[in-house]
């Protein structure tokens, strides 16, 4: 029997992350996402996803140093970036840059497990620099070089905005990166594993994953959510706007989930961060709008917000432009994608499902001259 959209089909065994959709639980390597969002850092989460255990202090410092050292872009990508800044949309820039980066990776086409680990960490380190370089160039702003004194999240924001974030903002963003790092067999991770299963290379798998994340039914939902809120504008307009959308049978971006049938545990943290950041900035407009939308969608459709819904206002409060929101998501998810690619390769079998043929059968071939 065909499961449309492969719903409920188990496509792989994994030790990276796990979800209980009924209970609204998410674990990375067995650690509850609530604990990781409370106590961990993005760098520690990267180690956890890749090494399948928490690091010692020394290992954590090594991971931090490794991710710091690999931030600089190759000259070749630096040269390409002005063209991207002029003509490309952010996710197209990212997809093309990662594809191009394969040609200049120091490990070349080495497909050994060790080379793939180095490639993974290099990609995780460089995503922020790519995104920030693109953002600064397209706005005619001076580039902000990576600051080796800053951790991953704070450095990312500093390169993006040109200003070093304060401690609360840096921690809020660090939590966002932790929350977005992995999520079992979501569409982009599945794509990455399919590409890896053909014994193609790490950069190809990540490029394909970026392509899958771009769509509004997946990672593009945060950007679409922010655009919707910008269009609604005021809390009083939420109810008629949402009701009209639902009346037209349109989907409300940032709501619903294939697996969660209750609150997405990541949304719990992002809702709180949205409220706290709004209050700190003395501008709760986007939080208030989000909260109202959440209530109306729950009353009308019984749907819960997913990770992308409150991520939109959180990113906005952190100074991240709307059209960069999906790129920022990918800068975190690359840690999960690359962990899944490595896991797939460690016990590989080509992913090649079946299909149910529903077209015509036993057709008689008619030469082109005789066709009506
Ligand atoms: N707004 C309105 N209705 C929604 C909805 C949404 N965001 N999400 C699901 N539904 C409704 C569908 O219309 C469908 O209703 P029906 O049975 O009356 O036709 C029902 O809920 C099931 O939805 P379906 O699209 O089949 O579920 P799915 O498991 O295939 O899709 C998503 C899951 C995430 C793709 C879907 O919820 C969605 O499109 N959400 C908006 C995009 C988004 O936020 N994506 C980010 C996911 S993290």
Q: Using CA atoms, how far apart are residues 353 and 8, in angstroms rounded to an integer? A: 14
Per residue in 358-372, pLDDT (tens digit) is 999 999 999 999 998
How many whole angstroms from 84 Cα to the centroid of ligand 1?
A: 33
Per residue in 2-26, pLDDT (tens digit) is 889 999 889 999 999 999 999 999 9
Residue 306 Cβ inside 6 Å of ligand 1? The answer reads: yes
Q: What percent of the chain has pLDDT over 90?
A: 97
Q: What is the mean pLDDT of residues 139-147?
A: 95
Residue 319 has pLDDT above 90, yes or no: yes
With a CB cutoff of 8 Å and minimum separation 6, the contacts of 267 are: 304, 305, 306, 307, 309, 310
Question: What angle (nearest 5°) sits at the alpha carbon of residue 314, between those of residues 311 and 315?
Answer: 85
Residue 132 has pLDDT above 80, yes or no: yes
Per residue in 275-290, pLDDT (tens digit) is 999 999 999 999 999 9
Residue with tokens 């304060």: 166
Per-residue confidence (pLDDT) for residue 8, from 0 to 100: 87
Q: Using CA atoms, how far apart are residues 294 and 83, in angstroms rounded to an integer? A: 40
Per-residue confidence (pLDDT) for residue 3, from 0 to 100: 85
Q: What percent of the chain has pLDDT over 70?
A: 100
Per residue in 26-49, pLDDT (tens digit) is 999 999 999 999 999 999 999 999
- Nearest-atom number in ligand 1 for the CA of 225 is 44
What is the longest distance spanned by two Cα atoms in the chain?
Answer: 77
Please name each of the domains of the chain with its CATH number: 17-171+194-208+333-346 (1.10.580.10)
Q: Give the DSSP H or E segment for 31.
A: strand 31-32
Residue 253 Cβ inside 6 Å of ligand 1? The answer reads: yes
pTM, rounded to two decimals = 0.96
Contact 199, 206 (CB under 8 A): no
Per-residue confidence (pLDDT) for residue 116, from 0 to 100: 98
How many whole angstroms from 316 Cα to the centroid of ligand 1?
A: 24
Q: DSSP assignment of 276-339, as one string?
A: HHHHHHT--HHHHHHHHHHHHHHHHH-PPB-HHHHHHHHHHHTT--GGGHHHHHHHHHHHHHHH
3-state secondary structure of 104: helix
- Nearest-atom number in ligand 1 for the CA of 7 is 29
Pairing assessment for the beta strands 31-32 and 25-28 based on DSSP bridges = antiparallel
Per-residue confidence (pLDDT) for residue 22, from 0 to 100: 96
Per residue in 62-79, pLDDT (tens digit) is 999 999 999 999 998 999
Residue 221 Cβ inside 6 Å of ligand 1? The answer reads: yes
Q: What is the mean pLDDT of residues 104-130?
A: 96
């Amino acid at each position: 029997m065909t499961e449309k959209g492969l719903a409920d089909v188990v496509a792989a065994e994994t030790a990276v992350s796990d979800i209980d959709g009924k209970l609204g639980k998410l674990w990375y390597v067995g650690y509850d996402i609530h604990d990781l969002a409370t106590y961990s850092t993005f760098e520690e989460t990267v180690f956890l996803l890749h090494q399948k255990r928490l690091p010692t202090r020394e290992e954590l410092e090594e991971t931090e140093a490794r991710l710091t050292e690999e931030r600089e872009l190759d000259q070749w990508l630096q040269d390409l970036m002005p063209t991207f800044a002029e003509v490309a949309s952010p996710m197209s820039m990212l997809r093309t840059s990662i594809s191009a980066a394969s040609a200049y990776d120091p490990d070349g086409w080495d497909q050994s497990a060790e080379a793939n680990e180095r490639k993974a960490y290099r990609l995780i380190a460089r995503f922020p620099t790519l995104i920030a370089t693109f953002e600064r160039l397209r706005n005619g702003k001076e580039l902000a070089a990576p600051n080796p004194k800053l951790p991953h999240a704070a450095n990312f924001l500093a390169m993006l905005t040109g200003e070093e974030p304060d401690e609360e903002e840096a921690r809020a963003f660090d939590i966002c990166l932790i929350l977005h790092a992995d999520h079992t067999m979501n569409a982009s991770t599945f794509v990455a594993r399919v590409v890896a299963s053909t014994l193609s290379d790490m950069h190809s798998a990540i490029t394909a994953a970026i392509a899958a994340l771009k769509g509004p039914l997946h990672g593009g939902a945060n950007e679409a959510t922010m655009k919707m809120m910008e269009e609604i504008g005021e809390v009083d307009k939420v109810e008629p706007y949402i009701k009209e959308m639902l009346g037209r049978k349109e989907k409300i971006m940032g709501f619903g989930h294939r697996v969660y049938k209750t609150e997405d545990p990541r949304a719990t943290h992002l809702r709180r961060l949205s409220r706290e950041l709004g209050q700190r900035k003395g501008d709760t407009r986007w939080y208030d709008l989000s909260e109202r939308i959440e209530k109306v969608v729950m009353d009308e459709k019984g749907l819960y917000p997913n990770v992308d819904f409150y991520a939109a206002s959180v990113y906005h409060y952190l100074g991240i432009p709307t059209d960069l929101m999906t790129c920022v998501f990918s800068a975190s998810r690359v840690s999960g994608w690359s962990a899944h690619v490595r896991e797939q390769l460690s016990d590989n079998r080509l992913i090649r499902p079946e299909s149910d043929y529903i077209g015509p059968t036993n057709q008689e071939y008619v030469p082109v001259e005789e066709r009506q």
